[in-house]
Amino acid sequence: MNPPQLRVLFSCFFLLTFCISAQDSAPSEAKSITQNTSESDHHKTLLAAVKATEMEDILDKSGPFTVFAPSDAAFAKFSNKKMQQLINSKDKSDLKSLLTYHIVAGNLTASNILKAMCRGKGKASFTTIQGKKLVAHMEGYDIVLTDPVGNTARITVADVNQKNGVIHEIDSVILPSQM
């Protein structure tokens, strides 16, 4: 194996170990994505977007889904003002596009992402329910997502299991297109 392949293999091993330990601190797996998000102290903006787009029932009763959930700090970094405009707008299409770009159909655990990256020589692509792709790669020990605009988001908390999927908290908002 060459050095880049060894680095990816080592990173995969490290993250698998991290993900296994992260599962121990997960919220209730008996609750849905919507229920656990509503109980979170640092996903209030995400919950407001879900409610504004009337996606509560989908994320409560359907699935499984993988949600790359920006924290409130990530939304603040993006722009609290822009988010409030999107949430309060009569036309929710941009907000729904933004929100659905953070969701992938299926139960995509961190180990699944790592396996896909190992098969993809360090990169993996996932199609969101919005219809556009996210690309995952490693930077050091972090799984990083890149959107079509070039923005990146790191998974800061992995594998928060829900009864209808999994949540990975991310540190930035990712965009399906320039907003």
The DSSP annotation for 86-142 comes to: HHH-S--HHHHHHHHTTEEES---HHHHHHHHHHTTTEEEEE-TTS-EEEEEEETTE
Alpha carbon distance 149, 106 (integer Å):
24
pTM attached to this predicted model: 0.83
What Cα–Cα distance (Å) separates residue 154 from each residue in 14, 83, 143, 171?
16, 20, 6, 6
What Cα–Cα distance (Å) separates residue 95 from each residue in 12, 84, 116?
34, 10, 29
The residues that bridge with 165 in the sheet, in sequence order, are: 65, 162
Residue 71 burial (10 A CB sphere; 0-12, 13-18, 19+): buried
Read off the pLDDT of each residue in 36-63 and give the average, rounded to a whole number. Answer: 89
The residues that bridge with 161 in the sheet, in sequence order, are: 166
Q: Does 17 have pLDDT greater than 70?
A: no
CATH number of 3-170, picked from 2.160.10.10, 3.30.450.20, 2.40.50.140, 2.30.180.10: 2.30.180.10
Reported as a single tens digit per residue, the pLDDT across 120-167 is 999 999 999 999 999 999 999 999 999 988 999 999 999 999 999 999
Supply the mean pLDDT for the chain: 84
| Tokens, residue 17 | 């170990």
| Tokens, residue 163 | 């009864």
Alpha carbon distance 88, 108 (integer Å):
31
Alpha carbon distance 88, 129 (integer Å):
23
